[in-house]
Amino acid sequence: MINITDKTKCCGCNACFNVCPKQAISMEYDSEGFLYPKVDNDKCIKCGLCLKTCPINTAEDLKIRRLEDWQQTQQNTKTKNKVLEVYGAKNKNVDEQLKSSSGGIFSIFANYVLEQKGIVFGASFDNNWKVVHKCIDKKEKLDSLRRSKYVQSDINTTYKQAKQFLDEGKLVLFTGTPCQIAGLKSFLQKDYEKLLTVDIICFQVASPLVWKKFLNENFNINDIKEIDFRDKLYGWDKSIMSLSLKNNTKYPKLPIIYKLLSEKIKMLLSSSNYALSYRKGCLSGLFSRPSCHKCYFKGDRNSDFTMGDLWGINNILPKMYDKKGVSVLTINSHKGKEIFEKVKNNIEYEQINYDDMIKYNPAFVSSATAHPKKEEFFKRYKNENLNKLIPTLINEKSLVIRIFRKLLKKIFKKRSVTA
């Protein structure tokens, strides 16, 4: 039976939870706020399915065995796909592009599947603003799955649901982090022609309980109307985290001076603690999952497509720059290539070099680095206010001080030039 002794070897994908024939496994939060499997010994029949299904066990096995003919002889979907093509891309539908975190490419594939009367799985907020995986079958419900959520989503039983739909012959699109897609493939144990998978260029996932604490400290859950981790108020590549209440109050309450700043300074300050401390702590790796720092699912992918932000666009594809958002899209399988050919008329795209993409999107191949004060954060976070603790640990100065320093630097630079 599964027993987690090294937390870097559990990504919280829920594959073991979904596959257990006796429901002997539950997923429980640890002290850092991440889900891990717990086995009920009275129910466990020691069938070993949980160990066989774990995608990290599979990855470890591949690494140890290193058989040259492994991919040829392995007839299930645990093997990874090589990246076939890489594109800079954006949705031609401007409304869908604006509603998305980057270029709106997820909506293209989701619309295609829904038009075939298929099912789409992705991360969404529940009624308490917890991030969970769920499925939809209508375009009107698609907006709930759009946009990035900087929290690890709870897969729950969605692997079982996906299998049921696939066994019924339905077309299924499943989106998630690379480890979640690997978990799904390991759970299914065979290839399904009607399964389409999309993973994201994942930096790291943040603690669900830290997210819950942040919300409870700052807001009444029932008053929240919308949360956007990637608000495009100042552009896709200068996004800020925003939160709107039902009384039309919006956070952060940015000062007028912020709007008067140059685009370059906005870019430097947009993720400051003024723009809600949670996002800054998340991006710094202050409360990320241990497995994110030793990720087994970088580089070659388990998915048909990988999507993310086209960072470095000004150097890679300057003519395609769009304030509304641009995505990087990799095609990782022949199935993915076939689907791309069917939907590409809805996409503005241009092929780019894989190495150029990696240069500006290192998270595609490299694990995240933990913040040096991560351990201290988890010792303190339950008893301290996050709005104070996060800026303190990441040593961030206030917005006013940062703006003042920038202005002084600019003034003295001009004086030195004239002198």
Domain with CATH 3.30.70.20 in the chain: 7-73
Which element (helix H / strand E) includes 231? strand 224-231
Q: Does pLDDT of 374 surpass 80?
A: yes
Percentage above 70 pLDDT, the chain: 84
418 falls in which pLDDT band (50, 70, 90)?
A: low
Q: How far apart are CA 321 and CA 312, in angstroms?
A: 10
Predicted local distance difference test score (pLDDT) of residue 81: 67
Tell me the H-state helices in 238-331.
256-260, 263-269, 277-283, 313-316
pLDDT of residue 399 exceeding 60, the answer is no
pLDDT at 301: 86
The stretch 124-143 carries a mean pLDDT of 96
The confidence score (pLDDT) of residue 300 equals 80
7-73 adopts what CATH topology?
Alpha-Beta Plaits (3.30.70)
Contact between residue 102 and residue 325 where contact means Cβ atoms under 8 Å apart: yes
Q: Pick the more confident residue, 263 or 319.
A: 319
SS3 331: strand
Tokens of 333: 């399988």
Cut 0.85: pTM above it: yes
Least confident of 162-166, 248-252, 329-333: 248-252
Q: How far apart are CA 174 and CA 120, in angstroms?
A: 6
**What's the pLDDT at 259?**
64
- The fraction of the chain above a pLDDT of 90, given in percent, is 72
Give the pLDDT band (50/70/90) at residue 67. Answer: very low
List 25's β-bridge partners, or say none: 39
Question: In whole numbers, what is the pLDDT of the chain averaged over residues?
Answer: 88
d(CA 122, CA 390): 29
Residue pLDDT, tens place only, 318-363: 999 999 999 999 999 999 999 999 999 999 999 999 999 999 999 9
Q: What is the mean pLDDT of residues 260-282?
A: 66
pLDDT for the residue numbered 367: 92
In this prediction, residue 8 carries a pLDDT of 93
Bond from prior residue into 252 cis (ω within 30 degrees of 0)? yes
